[in-house]
């Protein structure tokens, strides 16, 4: 297992030289943030990023994410051009030896929260989600400035995208994912790149848009589309965790044993309602995800991929990108690594 840390490139207020001081972190999760969706990620640009990270003594272990163009998710005739570009970006990753690609297949919006700074009893703040608050919003009136809220689109683009999705049901989305994976996974396999889909976050439909990567059955269906180690899962405990019906440990073990989990996002959450939760510190005692058992399951199943501490709280008056401050994620990395070492050494 390689411990990694997400870095948003030169625009990240957290410098690489601080990340490298977290003793257990060996790899970086990053991306090119200014390539328009649907275009090829140039080899030289990725090489520059990789060199920059190597110069700090770290490896570029994971690309998170190369976004999937909406035309691919919508199954529009133009999708083939974007799929070709995607394949080329994957080849470029392979040429540089970047081994893991995290992506998602959520229509229009990425991960979504309704409050960025919910205060916890200890005075720290965390991200939270409440489905009732989502339902009270009419997004046709404009988009709140929150992470994952499709701020990449203008109000007009958003309206036309929502119209386009009006006729797209979950089976259509599965069909389009199928088409995408059949085209891209063989190239990933040839290139030595392991793709891992990120589960939908939260794991249910929002604003009437279909979401399909929401539970264990969906993950199984995904892995069956193309039978390849390059068709895997970025197992995110905090995205699947809000769905109380999922046995996270069992699901994780099942897919790791099949060699289908190249990447893990370790995040903890506390459920506060059927479709409501807030994020917490990483430790098991803080939330509803038993992180100890997650790590033990990874060790038992012979996990050999990358892991990163996902979303942290804001602590010690830090200000920064929601979920992506330095301090709480650094504590998370140490906690995860401590569990990993203890589990690994006590089983020998
Ligand atoms: C949120 C992240 C997601 C993730 C994408 C992967 O913090 O986990 O934005 O990067 O969904 O494509």
pLDDT tens-digit map of 254-289:
999 999 999 999 999 999 999 999 999 999 999 999
DSSP codes, 239-293: HHTT-TT--HHHHHHHHHHTT--SEEEE-EEEEEETTEEEEE-SSGGGSSS-HHH
Q: What's the pLDDT tens digit per position in 95-144?
A: 999 999 999 999 998 899 999 999 999 999 999 999 998 888 887 776 76
Known catalytic membership, residue 200: no
* DSSP type of residue 336: H
**Count of other CB atoms within 10 angstroms of residue 136:** 9
Q: Which of 71, 200, 236, 328 is catalytic?
A: 236
Domain coverage including residue 174: 2-347
Q: Is the dihedral of CA 68, 282, 12, 123 positive or negative?
A: positive
What's the predicted TM-score (pTM) here? 0.96
Domain count, the chain: 1
89 vs 72: CA distance, rounded Å: 15
What is the arrangement of strands in the sheet containing 125-130, beginning at the earlier edge strand?
115-119, 125-130, 276-280, 268-273
Minimal-distance CA residue to ligand 1 atom 3? 111
User: The domain spanning residue 115 has which CATH number?
Assistant: 3.20.20.150
Q: Which of 265, 278, 328, 335 is catalytic?
A: 265
* DSSP type of residue 314: B
160 vs 210: CA distance, rounded Å: 16
Kindly indicate the confidence band of residue 208, based on its pLDDT and cuts at 50, 70 and 90.
Answer: confident
Minimal-distance CA residue to ligand 1 atom 9? 111
């Amino acid at each position: 297992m390689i411990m990694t840390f997400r870095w948003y490139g030169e625009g990240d207020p957290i410098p690489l030289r601080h990340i490298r001081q977290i003793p257990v972190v060996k790899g970086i999760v990053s991306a090119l943030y200014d390539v328009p969706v649907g275009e090829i990620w140039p080899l030289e640009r990725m090489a520059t990023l990789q060199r920059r990270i190597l110069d700090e003594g770290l490896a570029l272990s994971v690309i998170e994410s190369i976004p999937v163009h909406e035309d691919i998710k919508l199954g529009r005739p133009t999708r083939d051009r974007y799929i070709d570009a995607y394949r080329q970006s994957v080849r470029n990753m392979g040429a540089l030896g970047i081994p893991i690609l995290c992506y998602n297949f959520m229509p229009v919006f990425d991960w979504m929260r309704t409050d960025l700074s919910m205060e916890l009893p200890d005075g720290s703040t965390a991200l939270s989600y409440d489905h009732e608050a989502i339902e009270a919003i009419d997004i046709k009136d404009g988009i709140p400035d929150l992470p994952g809220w499709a701020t990449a689109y203008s109000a007009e683009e958003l309206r036309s995208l929502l119209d386009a999705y009006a006729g797209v049901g979950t089976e259509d989305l599965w069909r389009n994912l199928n088409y995408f994976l059949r085209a891209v996974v063989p190239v990933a396999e040839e290139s030595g790149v392991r793709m891992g889909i990120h589960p939908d976050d939260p794991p249910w439909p929002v604003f009437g848009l279909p979401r399909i990567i929401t539970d264990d059955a969906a993950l199984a269906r995904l892995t069956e589309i193309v039978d390849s180690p390059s068709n895997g899962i970025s197992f995110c405990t905090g995205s699947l965790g809000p769905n109380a019906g999922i046995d996270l440990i069992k699901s994780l073990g099942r897919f790791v044993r099949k060699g289908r989990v190249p990447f893990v996002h370790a995040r903890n959450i506390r459920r506060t309602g059927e479709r409501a939760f807030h994020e917490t510190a990483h430790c098991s005692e803080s939330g509803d995800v038993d992180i100890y058992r997650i790590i033990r399951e990874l060790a038992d199943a012979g996990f050999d991929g990358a892991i990163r501490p996902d979303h942290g709280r804001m602590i010690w008056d830090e200000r920064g990108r929601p979920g992506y401050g330095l301090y709480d994620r650094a504590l998370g990395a140490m906690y995860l690594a401590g569990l990993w070492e203890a589990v690994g050494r006590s089983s020998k």
